[in-house]
Chain A
Amino acid sequence: MPVSLREVLNSGKFVISAEVGPPKGTNIEKMLHHIDLLRDKVDALNATDNQSSVMRYPSLVTTFLIKERGGEPILQMTGRDRNRMALQSDLLAAYTRGIKNVVCLTGDSIRVGDHKQAKAVFDLDSVQIIKMVRQLETGKDMGGNDLDGAVEFCVGATVTPEADPIEPQLIKFEKKIEAGAEFFQTQAIYDLVKFREFMKYARQFNVKILAGIVLLVSAGMAKYMNENVPGVFVPQELVDEMAAVPKGKGLALQKGIEIAGRMIKELKDDAVCDGVHIMAIGKEDVVPDILSAAGLV
């Protein structure tokens, strides 16, 4: 009998979530392979929602596929492409198909994606989406109308522990908790000293925090993220460690796996946070290797 994410979050176990990236197109074989590979190795699998504002196979149907194949899906839901009516409809659909977890996000800007001319929706922001889920749970929709059958979800959100400036980010984090978020998957973290500081603050709230782990595949990627990805800072030691890898097929990837595993092990051994959310971004095949590098298999 598979265990729900909420049960795992409340069990005290170190929680592992990962994600699958829906494809651009109808060839879902590779994604199904990743689902099959990971469904029993992690506690839950996120289905990303047109990630980076790139049009893809939908997150909702991806959660159905994860469910059908025996995994515990987490529906990512952004306000970028759908207004409050469409979002509520999707939640009704998700609930009837046994999807019990939703992570609510604002969504990336349309302008960073592959349909730059599209109309950006953003009818609701992440805090308002969380409230919306909680509203539907009361048996009424956002219009105040009765539902013939309500929903129930384990509601998650995201936070960037190294946002610059941090104060407005933390205000929003607290608003998400106030709105009803039970767990958080963080933006990628690499500096565990700084993350421990964040956790000292976050521990005062009754929410579960899963640290975001993004697999490094090269020193170039680390430098790129430092320059271009908001709120992601790879410390120089890690950049140097990646750069010191001798040239050779798969060696840098191997080092990235080792670093991710090492970070996860430290987070778990020191009970820094409640779990990790592994984002392998196209390298889902190696998630089991990361887990074994962390000593979790």
Chain B
Amino acid sequence: MKTITEQKPFEEIERCLENENNIYIIGCGTCATMCHTGGKTEVLNMKEQLEVLGKKVVGWMVIPTACDDLTGEALKEDAERVNKADAVIVMACAFGTQTVASFASENGKPVYPALNTLFVGKGGESGVFSEICQQCGDCVLATTGGICPVTMCAKGLLNGPCGGTNKGKCEEDPERDCAWTLIYKRLEKLGKVDEMKKYHAPRNYQKVARPGKVLVETEGVKK
């Protein structure tokens, strides 16, 4: 499971940094490195682009896992350079960016994201990452042969395909498979097509109060 990101258009980053001259860049050694959006190569690229713009890059680092709380320690270790910065650019997913922001803001440093976070996905084989779960909080995989219609169907339909399905492809994008054709074929293989005939009630959007927050109780952690 990885957080899949893309780089923002450079003009957008340029606009954020209009009034900032000394920049510190942070990359991430985990998901953003795998996506080639915030690893060492991309961080050095960003450094070069910012220098072409006339900005001074006062320092940079690739934190092993930017969303981890150890990010605070990493910032402390390079405090001398970080303190010289007017702003911090984060080339990590929004989890990493928010983690960096929570620490950097303590020192009065504004944090700007260089990436857009697209989805939590799986894969990476041949460079393809796909979204297969939206964390809806009310898993329906038991009746759909293990294929998620909430995620894979463009409309998130629960009771079968829409009229837009065509030769196993989706109305929205003829390159994309129709989730309900996949589900039907899977259920057929499992001898469980009857599952598809059962009425599926509307989703309960109260299942997960957003933003989600859960306390996992253990020996040491109690409510």
Contacts and interface: CB of A to CB of B under 8 A. Distances in A.
A210 to B, nearest CB: 15
A175 B166 CA distance: 20
A108 B155 CA distance: 9
A230 B170 CA distance: 10
Given A171-B196, A230-B165, A109 B181 contact: no
15 contacts: A108-B164, A111-B172, A120-B155, A122-B156, A123-B202, A124-B202, A125-B157, A128-B202, A142-B202, A165-B168, A168-B160, A168-B161, A168-B180, A175-B160, A175-B199
B158 interface: yes
Interface in A117-167: 120, 122-128, 131, 142, 158, 160, 163-165, 167
Interface string B195-221: 011010111000000000000000000
Nearest to A158: B163
B161 to A, nearest CB: 5
Q: Is the interface of B mostly helix, strand, loop or mixed?
A: loop
Given A111-B172, A128-B159, A175-B197, 4 more contacts: A105-B163, A122-B155, A168-B196, A231-B163
Interface in B119-154: 154
B160 A230 contact: no
Contacts of B162: 106, 125-126
Interface in A154-212: 158, 160, 163-165, 167-169, 171-172, 174-175, 178-179, 187
B161 A169 contact: yes
B155 to A, nearest CB: 4
B159 A127 contact: yes
A231 B158 contact: no
Contacts of A67: none
A127 B149 CA distance: 15
Contacts of B42: none
Most buried by A among B162, B166, B197, B201: B162
Interface of B: 154-168, 171-173, 180-181, 183-184, 193, 196-197, 199, 201-203
Contacts of A122: 155-157
Contacts of B157: 106, 122, 125
A116 to B, nearest CB: 10
A124 B158 CA distance: 9
Nearest to B178: A168
Most buried by A among B159, B163, B173: B163
Contacts of A128: 158-159, 201-202
A125 to B, nearest CB: 5
Contacts of A158: 163
Contacts of B166: 164, 230-231
A112 to B, nearest CB: 7
A41 interface: no
Given A165-B181, A168-B180, A109 B155 contact: yes
A84 interface: yes
A179 B155 CA distance: 20
A131 B199 contact: yes
Contacts of A142: 202
A164 B164 CA distance: 10
Q: Which 7 pairs, one residue from A and one from B, show the smallest C-beta to C-beta distance? A: A172-B160, A230-B166, A127-B159, A168-B184, A122-B155, A109-B172, A125-B157
B163 A171 contact: no
A112 B171 contact: yes
Contacts of A127: 159-160, 199
Interface in A211-255: 230-231
A171 B162 CA distance: 12
A172 B164 contact: no
Contacts of A109: 154-155, 164, 171-172
B194 to A, nearest CB: 9
Nearest to A173: B160
Contact of B160 (A111, A112, A131, A171): A171
